Amino acid sequence: MTKSLAAHPERLLPADPGTRVIARDLLAAVQELPIISPHGHVPAEMIADDTAFEDPTALLIAPDHYVTRLLHAAGIPLSEVGAGGGPVDSRAAWRRFAGAWPLFDGTASGYWLRSEFEHVFGLPSSLVDSLPHGGADAVYDALAAKLSEPGFRPRHLFKEFGIEVLATTDDPLDSLDAHRRLAEDPSFAGRVLPTFRPDAYLTPSNPDWKLRVERLMAEASAGVEGFEGYLLALENRRRYFIEHGAVSADHGVRTPRTLQLDKAEAARLFSAALKGESTPAEQDAFEAHMLYQMARMSVEDGLVMTIHPGSYRNHHDPTFKRFGPDTGHDIPFAIDYTESIRPVLQDFGTAKDFHLVLFTLDETVFSRELAPLAGFYPSVFVGAPWWFLDAPDAMLRFRSAVTETAGFSRTSGFIDDTRAFCSIPARHDTSRRIESAFLARLVTEHRITEDRAHELILDIVDAAPRRVFKL
């Protein structure tokens, strides 16, 4: 057995030797396919500007809340690892991380990091293993040396990673200048697409909602006032995004509640919310109605609608106040889709070319709600396992929970959803391995033929994301 985990060709494949052979063959058929990443959080500027990465900590630790949260849990203050963008001694932060490296064993983050170290940066496995045993500085220096090479600039890595499409996530008022520059640059062959993410403009309970709405309308309502102008401004900005290549609109809502309201009532709630005169229940109703409106707009303008609900954002106030959002304490809770999403499906569940991709952090809805919904409504697709569920065992549970009811055609294809640019290859590789593992088991159990499994792995890895995200 080779000592290197990341290098092992059979990593993540099933234990049973007969099944593993089948899985290896399936994997081989898709291992070199281009990466399609229809949802994620890499900044377009980073690629447009092609600026060199700063240092190992700034690249791999500080901005990755998957990593900093486990360091925090181990008692390392977020300030010492640069979370939230504060000033930090990079090498000292790296040493903290290196000492905690064994805590990542068995986690998805640990698996990705090791893959990055070995595959992206070419570190020897033994050097990686030395991280908690005095090797912190050696690894830091090796990574820093690589980062100073031109081959480690974003655009070169983009190509080397085999990325064909990369979607970003953007504020509705973003100029999309970076996207435009990339699209117009003949030297850049990839596609970097914006994604319309309007949450902050749809949620009256957020303190800055009024300010954002005013800015939105000033910029895009073409002089139309009130609720009509608000809707028009959103429609206009969606059109702007589409003109700049967007294929989807993403909704990071607390719950998937949707609500149809007549125009007068919606306008009344809008006006009351702006005046600060609405009750919490009215604010929630308005937000639920705006999710319905977003579906209506997607039906009309063709943007794929993705919903990412069920996370209690910024669970720890003191951390939020000091370090801001996305610092590792968004905690999932139980959600319902069956009742919540029904108003949208009543009106748009069979609408032509409407694609509604439903994600969850609550695994219980996979077999109970999402597979049955996607198994009936042509508009509904089950979103791939996301965030905490974007991990080998969780992915297998997802396929097991969904497939027997909805088959393979009703799922979204893999979503990396990452801010960590260098983790993209490892994440897609993980997904391809696990899909191969799942299909191989079905072959061994004589539930599908091996020939059919080969068709399916190609469909899952390549055709599905193109089809579902209209790429």
Residue position matching structure tokens 């070199």:
32
The whole-angstrom separation of Cα 72 and Cα 67 is 9
Q: Where are the alpha helices (DSSP H) in 221-304?
A: 226-243, 263-274, 280-301
Picking from 94, 66, 98, the residue whose alpha carbon sits closest to that of residue 80 is 94
Minimum CB distance to a copy of itself smaller for 72 or for 237? 72
Residue 363 sits in the site that holds a copy of itself (CB under 8 A): yes
Q: Give the per-residue contact string, 158-197, with a copy of itself (x = CB under 8 A; - = no).
A: ----------------------------------------
Minimum CB distance to a copy of itself smaller for 179 or for 355? 355
CB 461 within 8 A of CB 414: yes
Single residue of 36, 108, 165, 290 touching a copy of itself by CB under 8 A: 108
Residue 235 sits in the site that holds a copy of itself (CB under 8 A): no
CB of 6 to a copy of itself, least distance (A): 9
The whole-angstrom separation of Cα 124 and Cα 301 is 50
Residue 131 sits in the site that holds a copy of itself (CB under 8 A): no
Residue 75 sits in the site that holds a copy of itself (CB under 8 A): yes
Task: Count other C-beta atoms under 10 Å from residue 325's C-beta.
Answer: 12
Q: Give the per-residue contact string, 32-61, with a copy of itself (x = CB under 8 A; - = no).
A: ------------------------------
> What is the DSSP-derived secondary structure letter of residue 421?
G
Site for a copy of itself in 429-468 (CB under 8 A): 441-442, 444-450, 452, 455-456
Residue 19 sits in the site that holds a copy of itself (CB under 8 A): yes
Residue 21 sits in the site that holds a copy of itself (CB under 8 A): no
Task: Count other C-beta atoms under 10 Å from residue 137's C-beta.
Answer: 12
CB 179 within 8 A of CB 193: yes
Give CA angle at 108 (104, 113), nearest 5°: 65
Minimum CB distance to a copy of itself smaller for 10 or for 171? 10
Single residue of 24, 329, 427, 428 touching a copy of itself by CB under 8 A: 329
Minimum CB distance to a copy of itself smaller for 110 or for 245? 110
Residue 14 sits in the site that holds a copy of itself (CB under 8 A): yes
CB of 210 to a copy of itself, least distance (A): 27
Q: Is 196 helix (H, G, I), strand (E, B) or coil?
A: strand
CB of 401 to a copy of itself, least distance (A): 8
Single residue of 181, 342, 454, 466 touching a copy of itself by CB under 8 A: 342
Residue 265 sits in the site that holds a copy of itself (CB under 8 A): no
Task: Count other C-beta atoms under 10 Å from residue 235's C-beta.
Answer: 17
Residue 321 sits in the site that holds a copy of itself (CB under 8 A): no
- Provide the CB-side half-sphere exposure for 385 (13 A, CA): 26
Site for a copy of itself in 378-437 (CB under 8 A): 378, 380, 388-389, 391-394, 397, 400-401, 403-410
Task: Please give the structure tokens belonging to residue 398.
Answer: 């997802």
Question: Going by DSSP bridges, is the β-strand pair 331-332/311-312 parallel, antiparallel, or unpaired?
Answer: antiparallel
Task: Count other C-beta atoms under 10 Å from residue 17's C-beta.
Answer: 8
For the chain, count helices (H), then strands (E).
22, 9
Minimum CB distance to a copy of itself smaller for 148 or for 400? 400
Minimum CB distance to a copy of itself smaller for 172 or for 465? 465
CB of 311 to a copy of itself, least distance (A): 9
